[in-house]
Amino acid sequence: MNICEQILNIAWILLGIGICTKSIQMNLWVPAGPGSGLVPFMAGLIIGWLGLFQFISLWSKRSERGPERRFVESPIARKRIIFLLLGFCGMALLLPILGFLFAAILVTSFLLIVIEPKKILKRIAIAVISCFAVYTLFVTLLRVELPRGFLGF
């Protein structure tokens, strides 16, 4: 966890520097008053400075640290998280190609099977029912425009 913290602190420092540099290019001050870069510059300054502060204070306490813990301890949880993120990415990729309904059924079934691999048919049935219920609520009742696939829904 400490390594993750330090990586994030370095990211904060870099982000802060990046924001400040870009903000200066956008002008912090113009003759009429504050420029477009003023508020982002202030934010960037705080981000960079606090990132550095956290980095140094964590570094100085390195002798007091306990044993290094993993970011996600349980391997099952790690697998679930990765699959869930893959599912979301799959949904974003398939949405414009297959349309909402097909993409949703495919991805939700996949997720339910890989996350809790028991009684697969029951899980697929739940995925299909959930997708149809949500589709009916949004498209039929609330008239929300969702992406349509090659079959028209």
| Interacting residues toward other proteins by CB under 8 A | 1, 4-5, 8, 12, 19, 22, 26, 32-34, 36-40, 42-44, 46-47, 50-51, 53-54, 71-74, 77, 80-81, 84-85, 87-89, 91-92, 95-96, 100, 104, 107-108, 111-112, 115-116, 123, 126-127, 130-131, 133-134, 137-138, 142-147
- Considering beta carbons, is residue 31 or 67 the nearer one to other proteins? 31
- Considering beta carbons, is residue 10 or 72 the nearer one to other proteins? 72
CA 135 from chain centre, in angstroms, equals 24
- Considering beta carbons, is residue 13 or 151 the nearer one to other proteins? 13
CB of 128 to other proteins, least distance (A): 10
CB-CB contact of 71 with 8 (8 Å): no
CB-CB contact of 116 with 123 (8 Å): yes
Enumerate residues 6+ apart whose C-beta is below 8 A from 82: none
Residue 71 phi, psi (nearest 5)? -65, -45
CB of 152 to other proteins, least distance (A): 17
CB of 151 to other proteins, least distance (A): 19
Q: Which residue has the tokens 């420092």?
A: 13
Enumerate residues 6+ apart whose C-beta is below 8 A from 35: 26, 27, 28, 29
CB of 137 to other proteins, least distance (A): 8
